[in-house]
Amino acid sequence: MYKKVVIVFILLTGLLIAGFVPYNTDYNKTVQHKPSQRERKIRKEVLKQVISFRNYVNDTFFTEISKKNTDIQKLRDAFLQSRLLFKKFEWAATYFAADLTARLNGPPVQEIENADLLDSSLARGVDPMGLQVIEQLIYPEYDAANKEVLISKVGHLVLNTNYLIDYFSDHQFADWRILDAAKLEIFRIIALGITGYDNGLSLNSMEESAASLKSLRDMLVYYVHKKSKTFLLQDLNDAIVYLHRHPGFVSFDRAEFITRYANKISSGIAQIQKTLAGPDIRYNRMLRQDVNTLFDTDAFNVNAFTPGPAFHITAAKVELGEKLFYDVSLSGTGTRSCASCHQPDKAFTDGLAKNTDIHIPSKLLERNVPTLINAALQSNYFFDMRALTLEDQVSDVINNKAEMDGSMEAIIKYVSADKTYKSLFAKAFPAIKEKTISSDEVTNALASYVRSLTKLNSRFDEYMQGFDQALSNREINGFNLFMGKAKCATCHFIPLFNGITPPKYITSETEVLGVPLSLTDSTLDPDPGYYDVIGVDSYRFAFKIPTIRNSVKTAPYMHNGVYQTLEQVMEFYDKGGAAGLGIHLPNQTLPTEPLHLTETEKEDIIAFIKSLESK
């Protein structure tokens, strides 16, 4: 069974799961404008599509399920058609009504409600629902014993679709939001749609992506004038034809589709956005609104997960933070700095399975040291997700008795007595009227330095930006395997290759892999991971999905550093995680079935992973 553990993280800066909060203070006035004829037509068409989906599920899919003697092929055909109908309005539903849409096609795992990291007793698991849950009752085998469960799930699907119909009956669209949603749908197709993320068993990914593009094309016609020089509609048609001609999940050339078609389409939508008359409303989100493609050099905002605007990165903060980062005086013993465990030549890791207690060199720390490169581009920190911001992470490490055993009071006293530091703090925080240095300034400076370590400039990035020679044929094949047969990209989402879900980049995911205690002992590592933070049983042994960028320099791997090489990691995944090692782990979220990768395919995937090294 393929499933995931999902962490819902509400940005402290004001992002909401159902959408985004704009910077514009006149937002309410703006969205209450009188809709144009174009906007009304598009909303009407979306509403019509949602109703068609509801009617088909209720009248056809439900009928097939309810028959005394179920025809499995007809049942699956009805399911696949239901998904195609959903994909027609996915672009609008996920943008305007994300919470409701999650009830229609959310991940097939428990989500956490009231995920208060300060009081785990408030957290509870919310049972999954929707098409992905239904898929698991039909594929890979249909069990008639689950018929009543299936009937119940489809009933809930109809009920929740009715709620969505009510929503779209009462909410108006605006041009700028329509185009924003359309571009995000292209990114969703790139990062999720063609990877099998939400249809991991039926794998009808290319037909579903084509259905999404057809719906976008029919909507974007309203924005393309006959005299305009845009090739957007032709690019959409070409992409749809390509998807129809290459429906095979394993054989599909994702590298070609993205570079030849998808990037052109998102750029075409961005071109229309730039010429669209109307309000310039900005959201505070990680993926910048004005990007042309998912692979633009400045596509991601390192300030998205700061506690607020006052904590945003500046050159002066980075300069101060770098000095603090290498200063052993921040530790209680005066022997360890941040750089002691996060070494630049090792992509800001330490090359050890686990580092040691600052006071007891023979005692190992709890977990492996993760890279700091691109750490700003994901919510929640540490393998157990316990820190919401980089500032929280910095404070945790400094105060941890085994890691640095520092004291913020002592640090402030130390830097306040140093003329160089006093000057750097004054430069970094000129708006602070108080003469004394604060703990927030210390942690924000260090966090700002970490945010400066954002580097999306690998050969892979160059390839996606149009430099065809940046990757070898072997690396391109490895990318296609990574995105397809090996299903790596259903957890390590492109282009960041970490676990924050595209295209809104709000929700961070964890995974229950079932990592062994050692290479020679097929016993489950007893570290409970995120369970210790949130206290929900389905999250026992769940750990944050880290980035695989710069993996060539960040060995050993996993939260406990059990694997020394990428080859060992590939073998673990190829066998099906814990299940492949003979470890009984009922809540394993990694697919338990072997991937059946050949040795050449494994080598190609590793070759691709090595192309993700930052320059």
Distance CA 577, CA 560 (A): 15
Residue 31, pLDDT score: 47
State the average pLDDT over residues 290-297. 96
Q: Helical H runs in 471-594?
A: 473-483, 531-534, 566-575
Q: How many CB atoms lie within 10 A of CB 505?
A: 24
Q: Taking 90 as the threshold, does the pLDDT of residue 375 lie above it? A: yes
**Residue 508: φ, ψ to 5°:** -100, 140
Residue 117, pLDDT score: 55
Of the candidates 118, 116, 2, 120, which has an alpha carbon nearest to the alpha carbon of residue 528? 120
The CA-based diameter of the chain, rounded to the nearest angstrom, is 83
The H or E element that residue 125 is part of is strand 124-126
- CATH fold group of domain 483-610: Cytochrome Bc1 Complex; Chain D, domain 2 (1.10.760)
Is residue 497 a contact partner of residue 612, using CB atoms and an 8 Å limit? yes
What are the residue boundaries of the structural domains of the chain, listed by start? 34-173, 309-451, 483-610
Model pLDDT for residues 429-462, shown as the tens digit of each residue:
998 766 789 999 999 999 999 999 999 999 999 9
State the average pLDDT over residues 484-509. 95
Of the candidates 455, 451, 431, 456, which has an alpha carbon nearest to the alpha carbon of residue 441? 431
Lookup result for tokens 């992470």:
393
Q: Does the fold of domain 483-610 match that of domain 309-451?
A: yes
Which CATH number applies to 34-173: 3.20.20.70, 1.20.1420.20, 1.10.10.10, 1.10.3720.10?
1.20.1420.20
Residues 6+ apart with CB under 8 A from 358: 331, 332, 333, 335, 336, 402, 403, 404, 405
Phi/psi region, residue 416 (left: phi>0; alpha: psi -120 to 50; beta: rest), is alpha
Of the candidates 137, 178, 413, 150, which has an alpha carbon nearest to the alpha carbon of residue 276? 178
Alpha-carbon distance values, 2 to 117, 215, 251 (Å): 27, 28, 21
- CATH fold group of domain 309-451: Cytochrome Bc1 Complex; Chain D, domain 2 (1.10.760)
User: DSSP for 429-472?
Assistant: -TT---SS--HHHHHHHHHHHHHTT----SHHHHHHTT-GGGS-
* Residue bearing the bigger pLDDT, 50 or 117: 50
**Pairs from 411-414 (Cβ < 8 Å, separation ≥ 24):** 411/329, 411/330, 411/439, 411/442, 412/436, 412/437, 412/438, 412/439, 412/442, 414/329
Distance CA 106, CA 99 (A): 9
Give strand ranges (E) for 495-559.
508-512, 542-544
Q: Taking 80 as the threshold, does the pLDDT of residue 524 lie above it? A: yes
The H or E element that residue 113 is part of is strand 111-113
Phi/psi region, residue 387 (left: phi>0; alpha: psi -120 to 50; beta: rest), is beta
Distance CA 6, CA 533 (A): 14
Residue 115, pLDDT score: 55
Question: 522 pLDDT band (50/70/90 cuts)?
Answer: confident
Question: 14 pLDDT band (50/70/90 cuts)?
Answer: very low
Of the candidates 544, 478, 534, 536, which has an alpha carbon nearest to the alpha carbon of residue 510? 544
Residue 227, pLDDT score: 63
Model pLDDT for residues 533-567, shown as the tens digit of each residue:
999 999 999 999 999 999 999 999 999 999 999 99
Helix (H/G/I), strand (E/B), else coil: 306: coil
Model pLDDT for residues 35-63, shown as the tens digit of each residue:
899 999 999 999 999 999 999 999 999 99
- In this structure, the strands spanning 5-7 and 508-512 are antiparallel
Measure the CA angle with vertex 482, ends 480 and 486; round to 5°.
115
Dihedral sign (CA 332, 336, 341, 347) = positive
Distance CA 520, CA 357 (A): 25
Q: What is the pTM of this model?
A: 0.93
Q: Helical H runs in 276-418?
A: 315-325, 338-341, 390-399, 408-416
CA 321 to chain CA centroid, nearest Å: 27
Mean pLDDT of all residues belonging to the chain: 92
Model pLDDT for residues 228-248, shown as the tens digit of each residue:
667 999 999 999 999 999 999
Is residue 506 a contact partner of residue 17, using CB atoms and an 8 Å limit? yes
Residue 148, pLDDT score: 95
Q: Taking 80 as the threshold, does the pLDDT of residue 390 lie above it? A: yes
Helix (H/G/I), strand (E/B), else coil: 206: helix
Is residue 138 a contact partner of residue 153, using CB atoms and an 8 Å limit? no
